[in-house]
Amino acid sequence: MATTEAPPRRREVLEQAVIRFCGDSGDGMQITGSQFTNTAALFGNDLATFPDYPAEIRAPAGTLPGVSGFQIHFSSRDVYTPGDAVDVLVAMNPAALKTNVADLRPNGALIVNVDNFREVDLKKAQCATNPLEDHSLDAYRVFKVELTKLTRLALLDLGLDAKSMDRCKNFFALGMCYWLYNRSMDPTYKWLDEKFAGKPILAEANKLAMKAGYSYCEATEAFQVSYEIPAAKLTPGRYRNISGNSALALGFVAAARRSGLTLFQGSYPITPASDVLHELSMFKEFGVLTFQAEDEIAAVTAAIGAAYGGALAITTTSGPGMALKMEAIGLAIATELPLVICDIQRGGPSTGLPTKTEQADLLQALYGRNSEAPVPVLAAATPGDCFWVALEASRIAVKYMVPVIILSDGYLANGAEPWKIPSMDELPEFPVRFRTDPEGFMPYLRDPDTLSRPWAVPGTPGLEHRIGGLEKQDGTGNVNYEPLNHERMVRLRAAKVAAVAQDVPDVVPAGDPDGDLLLVGWGSTYGSITSALSAQRAKGRRIGHVHLRHLNPLPRNLGDLLQRYRKVVVPEMNMGQLLWVLRAQFLVDAEGLNKIQGKPFKVSEIEAKIEEELS
């Protein structure tokens, strides 16, 4: 279906915009945001998103804890973050307005559904006065729209009940935003047809609501200006939109193919990691075996069993699940079996903030097991990077016969970005060969380069042997409690993980190769740090940025690099965990920039720290 686009009153070309949709968790804000994102991506903008939703499935409607939001930053230039300040805020009720308006920039557009600003709604949002009348919004351009009423009017002829009609009002708001940014509604039409293939009336209703929102803007004098954000100049190639969890899932399917192994995933549902399980459970045609276990421990131990049997085994979880898996990870360390553990971090401790992002599991990943139990640890920097990290972690796990931890977080997991689809020859190939020759076989005979032991899977004639969690003699693998043997084994396991450094490329700093200040980051802070770096260099500061993918072992040149700058600043969404590691390992007087609010850094927060350090 083609969209008729009447010429708007005035069109302005902008470089970028940030929109946030917020409303009750039942208002469909995540869908609205994803649709706008998809359309922007197909149009060719670079973008980043930040879905922010409550832990409760449906907190009482209209209340502050029930507010769900979705922010998208789209641009004709490179985008690294979801944006500090919001240009257009769509607020479906007073609670959403109250919790989000602080992020709207002065003179920004505020679209509110006035139908939801009755006395009772204000009370639920604990508003003493009506913000639409008390002048508290004077700094913004407020557009009061009867969203509920207008949506109902648009759907009058469909014969739907009031509840079903009201469910479409988010598409009215979406239609308004499409008009405002001169976007085609076709991708969303297509999506609705597929989504409601079995219930065409609902597809029709949402289309009508969206069209009504679009026409409302066209017909009324409300908006004097509409905007155009041209396509970005991305590296040539074919793109798709991808979230971190989807990218992880695809990365593991790719890793299984490139290693020639069957992918086995053991997992127990946990926010924000469950989507990796959902995604992988769909890929049966790739031979993927997904096991939803009875608990976190069964999830990891089943994966260990599968790895023992010769599968590419992974387990996916978040912080609380990691805590439960730690003893089992120790078993994989002791038995030297390949395994990839994904920790999609969230706020803690304990249950903490299940739907909010944090980076506070780094020390848990590095040190959270009994005794001397090092493992390689990798972290993804962007949603699309999760794909590459999954491949790299899998490659290291099977090459070194070692469990590997991947750290992602809630922001990467649910955030999306345009992702350049790799061609097959860009993907590393690492075919695995199991030990089959009984001649001279011993279960702990080591490869001199990697110190890895052979992968000798059950069913191989002549290789019958026993492994386990008890301390063993190197070579034979026989149980051994001798003091010197234990020390030798502890050192061997550590040396094996240290040997992974030969697979860790040297880091090359972005920005200045030496100078006044080096920003050292890891994980999802990549976007904010990158943007802050470029803004501050534009002001003439001599600063650099290294972003660590490998957190254990660290890149071999990192120590030298830290010496090339007068100051080292480590921005992290925790109390200073990488900072602690760097200080301990390199005796460097680094400074932390720490934010523990369940939210990613704003670019301005990092810039402020740079200015403070260099003033």
Partner 1 sequence: MTATLPVYSKKDFQTDQEVRWCPGCGDYAILSAVQSVFPELGVPREKFVVVSGIGCSSRFPYYMNTFGFHTIHGRAPAVATGLKIARPDLEVWIATGDGDGLSIGGNHTIHMLRRNVGLKVLLFNNKIYGLTKGQYSPTSEFGKKAKSTPFGSVDRPFNPLSLALGAEATFVARSVDVFQAHLKATLKKAAVHQGSAFLEILQNCNIFNDGAWESLTEKDMRDDRTILVEHGQPLIFGRNKDKGIRMKGLDLEVVSLGNGISEADLIVHDEHHPNPAYAFLLSRMDNRPGFPTPLGVLRSVDAPCYEDAMNDQVEAVVAKKGKGDLAELLGAGDTWDVG
Per CB under 8 A, 77 contacts partner 1: no
Nearest to partner 1 of 253, 558 (CB atom): 253
Nearest to partner 1 of 146, 327 (CB atom): 327
Nearest to partner 1 of 289, 445 (CB atom): 289
Per CB under 8 A, 187 contacts partner 1: yes
Residues 388-427 contacting partner 1, CB under 8 A: 421-424
Residues 306-365 contacting partner 1, CB under 8 A: 306-311, 313, 327-328, 330-331, 335
Among residues 212, 302, 413, 558, which is the contact residue for partner 1, using CB under 8 A? 302
Per CB under 8 A, 380 contacts partner 1: no
Per CB under 8 A, 164 contacts partner 1: no
Instruction: Indicate left, alpha or beta for 440 from its phi (over 0: left) and psi (-120 to 50: alpha).
Output: left
Per CB under 8 A, 194 contacts partner 1: no
Among residues 60, 65, 200, 237, which is the contact residue for partner 1, using CB under 8 A? 237
Q: What is the DSSP string of 374-398?
A: ---EEE-SSTTHHHHHHHHHHHHHH
Phi/psi of residue 112, nearest 5 degrees = -120, 145
CB 298, min distance to partner 1, A: 4
Per CB under 8 A, 295 contacts partner 1: yes
Could you tell me which residues are beta bridge partners of residue 420? 239
Cβ 537 vs Cβ 510: under 8 Å: no
CB 41, min distance to partner 1, A: 7
Classify the C-alpha dihedral 244-185-66-106 as positive or negative.
Answer: positive
CB 243, min distance to partner 1, A: 12
Site string for partner 1, 544-563 (x = CB under 8 A): --------------------
Stretch that binds partner 1, among 20-28, 137-145, 390-398, 465-473 (CB under 8 A): 465-473
What distance in Å separates the CA atoms of residue 360 and residue 347, rounded to the nearest whole number?
A: 8
Residues 86-145 contacting partner 1, CB under 8 A: none
Q: Tokens 């989504």 label which residue? A: 195
What distance in Å separates the CA atoms of residue 362 and residue 551, rounded to the nearest whole number?
A: 9
Local structure of residue 475 (DSSP, 8 states): B
Continuous segment of H or E residues that includes residue 228: strand 226-228
- The footprint of partner 1 on this chain (CB under 8 A) covers a number of residues equal to 73
Q: How many CA atoms lie within 13 A of 475 on its CB side?
A: 3
Per CB under 8 A, 478 contacts partner 1: yes
Task: Give Cα separations from 144 to 86, 141, 151, 583 (angstroms).
Answer: 18, 10, 14, 53
CB 155, min distance to partner 1, A: 27
Per CB under 8 A, 68 contacts partner 1: no
Among residues 105, 141, 240, 564, which is the contact residue for partner 1, using CB under 8 A? 240
Q: Tokens 């639409």 label which residue? A: 132
Residues 253-282 contacting partner 1, CB under 8 A: 253-254, 257, 262, 264, 266
CB 146, min distance to partner 1, A: 33
CB neighbour list of residue 347: distance below 8 Å, 6 or more residues apart: 353, 354, 356, 357, 358, 360, 596, 598
Nearest to partner 1 of 291, 601 (CB atom): 291
Residues 34-53 contacting partner 1, CB under 8 A: 38, 41-44
CB 487, min distance to partner 1, A: 22
Among residues 138, 157, 294, 439, which is the contact residue for partner 1, using CB under 8 A? 294
Among residues 6, 14, 153, 479, which is the contact residue for partner 1, using CB under 8 A? 479
At 273, is the secondary structure helix, strand, or coil?
coil
Amino acid letter, 36 = F
Cβ 502 vs Cβ 550: under 8 Å: no
Q: 504: burial class by Cβ within 10 Å (0-12, 13-18, 19+)?
A: buried
How many other C-beta atoms lie within 10 A of the C-beta of residue 234? Answer: 13
